[in-house]
Structure 1
């Protein structure tokens, strides 16, 4: 059984939800977890407040939102709910609206959900159409278990030729500086959307063969402001980038946190490849 199937709360799936706005959509997804005994109403409200404070940074891919809040006593068990919005709902995101798939995720700590995040990031990149077409909880769970198969095409970099690290070093610009060996992915809480971005970035670095040379860390906005100069650059959403301001290193906005081609392009620009 996949980690996703283990953490999907039984009965916390609605594939035909009709909600008037993003608040009611998140509240509905949270109430599914409440009914399953996984969270209290306080956590549902915390998910809504997070978007009210930071903007629609949870809309991390076209049509997909990942609602979450920090671990707290309001979370009884690490779990998530799954909601398909019909019709899709606007979350006021500049490029990824409207949202038709919404996940509400609750974690008791900062590590118990890491494997689930990896699985979900890969699924969204490789089987988005299948996820949108699932007609029952059972069918959705079958898709979750099938994610161990290697994605076709979606997990490849857009260029047939991977960057040669030694060649890149020989062609550095005159104003270049040595790499610090670290990249930070940033979100509001450091536990949800930044992990999606980290997972996709890790896949690109694996394809390049650069993983041994670069450490990728997922962090929150407060930590990122204090640690930014440890990194070569920060990758994040437009909403979080606006709250970070000038941190002394480049802050690059990623629109689709599940897109390897978009992140590949960003790395080539940032490292002047």
Structure 2
């Protein structure tokens, strides 16, 4: 006898819903960020020393020739751990704060901006220690540590505590919060626009069609994100690698800016556009695919 029992659905805005979205964020962010470690490695080194490589391809070739092919994945572990934690806070937090703020304000751009900013602010507190390890590992040659645990021990010992892990928190917020505000808000609006011009309503589309919209919307949003957050991304790399002991954030930022100038803030932009565009599109693809798989509606 066949059972007519329907599979249990996850109720929206419950603890189970937020836990599921948090897991989706981990799956979307950890693997995607760590998979582009080679691009990130070249980008970070060029931000610190623009004369180091003449192109991305030459950068890869020099790293492989001088350090071995495995070294193109320098920083992989710290990236995977850090961005898995950040993804948990970013996506799970966004879903939570979007619902919370929507109960206070009319749903729309203001809610998207507030929810994404709040989620990213908290997510970066988890990301920052691992971002510091990653940047230092990628911009010192040879790398100052072999893995995440080794890097954590060395940085903790050097600073006598957690101070070294959070010296870049302010520029990280300056980079990531505008990036995430742009990422989520532009994605929501772009996806809404795409649905508005398609012959079918979103509710009439199957999961594959909805996920395809998420992928396209994610790539377009990623291009905007890269441009908005790039100057702060350069400054994060510079501060993590060049900030002097006991130097304040404002003094370090001013000194570095005087050294590199306005144009220096845009070093590596094209690499980052390719990297972030691809990254963002695949994150939305994975996140919304996961949501669809567990029976939740896609975002937007």
| TM-score (norm: length of structure 1) | 0.29
Q: Which has the higher contact order (CA 8 A, sep 6+)?
A: 2
Structure ID, larger Rg: 2
